[in-house]
Amino acid sequence: MTKPKVLISDKMDPNAARIFEERGCDVDVKPGMTPEELAAVIGEYDGLAIRSATKVTPAILEAATNLKVVGRAGIGVDNVDIPAASSKGVVVMNTPFGNSITTAEHAIAMMFALARQIPAADARTQAGEWPKNDFMGVEVTGKTLGLIGAGNIGSIVASRALGLRMKVVAFDPFLTAERAIEIGVEKVDLDTLLARADFITLHTPLTDETRNILSRENLAKTKKGVRIVNCARGGLIDEAALADALDSGQVAGAALDVFQTEPAKESPLFGKPNFVCTPHLGASTTEAQVNVALQVAEQMADYLVSGGVTNALNMPSLSAEEAPKLRPYMGLAESLGSLVGQLAHGNLTRISIEREGAAAALSGKPIEGAVLAGLMRQYSDTVNMVNAPYLARERGLDIRSIRHETEGAYNTLLRVTVGTESGDRSVAGTLFGSDAPRLTEIFGVRIEAELTGHMLYIVNEDAPGFIGRIGSLLGENGINIGTFHLGRREAGGEAVLLLSVDQPIPQDVVKKACAIEGVRRVTPLAF
């Protein structure tokens, strides 16, 4: 079996390459390439490991004909075009926890730098002055810290602040009351935080909802003399408005590690006496850089070798331990999606994916992705679990996932139903044992079959002699039958024949089958 091949295109701890090799990947380390140089070689690789220097653009992705995963050693993925990667079926991973402590510590350091005006005092002292009377700081003990974002990094900042005997209030729409109690903070709305906080730190991603969350209007709502720290993402603060607030005294000090435009060569904040900045150093410790390099190598190798998905931004996570358990279900799900895609005629308007019995206890997203991959493969030859949901939504398909805890006729069951112009069409399947997928129902007709290789689906009138006529036709044309599966709605009514054959069925044979008396439909299938 050919080993997956990985390219490390940015400077990274050398142990990352060792981990790739130990886990069964071939790896090349080529930092510092130009975009043109990267585009020329990326087609050779299954995985691309990066930090912040490499830009994964649509042009790079277009050249990456074998690429399966991009791994960012760090949190921010501003340098990766995630929609373009998703449309190409490329998983995008990051390492959100590898530099959490480092970033949280930097925020605390910036808070102290503001409170005691350390950078300005240092600069003037080293310039030969002794400005002891010019710097009057404030204590942090007893002050209120306002967290905008109380996720992984925000919760670490909260724990450090509580250790400093600060009071902590937090605004985070996703923070539950139980989690707030657990991390020792008071959950409040944004206006309350702005009004009460002596210090504000931001720990949220940059989204349409959070962009300029500290706008000119919101800065005006802050407690007069507040000090603001941003070690999260540039663009969370209106920098021009912050500069004006520093001039007016509404904001007593601000410390930024991130800027709206980076590298930040100029800013309205530069030169302000109550402003402190660093060049995006939040993750810049030896420990953090080792951690994220090792983590991205472990995650990417797990995906390429065993199918485990961790910290993916465009598909559900699936641990290396979960993957073997889910793999048979995903095979069944993909086959059912493919079957309904090949048989359901007309414009598909919606799809529902139902899990019943033992299947209901499993993660639904990987199964949904597998169904859609099977379905959308009828429309594109470059479909996988990553881009299938995007392609389905592009076609206006309404996707629903339904979980039934009750067990029916089978211990475990998946059902896929699509809405068409002619009504709903449904197929269902189960696992025999724990790993043998089987079709159990097709468009309301009970039938048990293995979906594999080349098959022929026939709808006919239930009448004597039909099976012999089909068998004779295939035999006369040199087509060997592998398996034969029958089902019917009722005696003498509509019947279904599903058979597997050893080679593709020529179109002229399909036409001859359609001409047999009693035949209503003949469709060749491929799995």
Q: Is 485 left (phi over 0), alpha (psi -120 to 50) or beta?
A: beta
Closest CA to 92 of 294, 270, 311, 413: 311
Number of helical H runs and strand E runs in the chain:
17, 22
Starting at the edge strand found earlier in the chain, the sheet holding 251-256 runs: 186-187, 167-171, 144-148, 199-202, 226-230, 251-256, 275-277
Q: Which of 233, 355, 415, 438 is catalytic?
A: 233
Active site residue 450: no
Kindly give, in sequence order, each residue whose CB lies less than 8 Å from that of residue 31, ignoring residues fewer than 6 positions away.
Answer: 8, 9, 10, 11, 12, 53
Active-site position among 262, 394, 421, 476: 262
CB 45 within 8 A of CB 320: no
Residue 233 known to be catalytic: yes
Half-sphere exposure of 141 (CA within 13 A, CB side): 0
Pairing of strands 481-488, 167-171: unpaired
- Phi, psi (deg, nearest 5) at residue 338: -65, -40
Q: How far is CA 112 from the centre of its chain?
A: 36
- Dihedral angle, C-alpha 86, 88, 91, 96, nearest 10 °: -50
- Please identify which of the residues 51, 106, 203, 280 carries the catalytic annotation: 280
Q: Cα angle vertex 443, ends 438, 446, to 5°? A: 50
Does 262 participate in catalysis according to the annotation? yes
- Which of helix, strand or coil describes residue 245? helix
Burial status of residue 45 (CB atoms within 10 A of its CB: 0-12, 13-18, 19 or more):
buried
The set of catalytic residues is 233, 262, 280
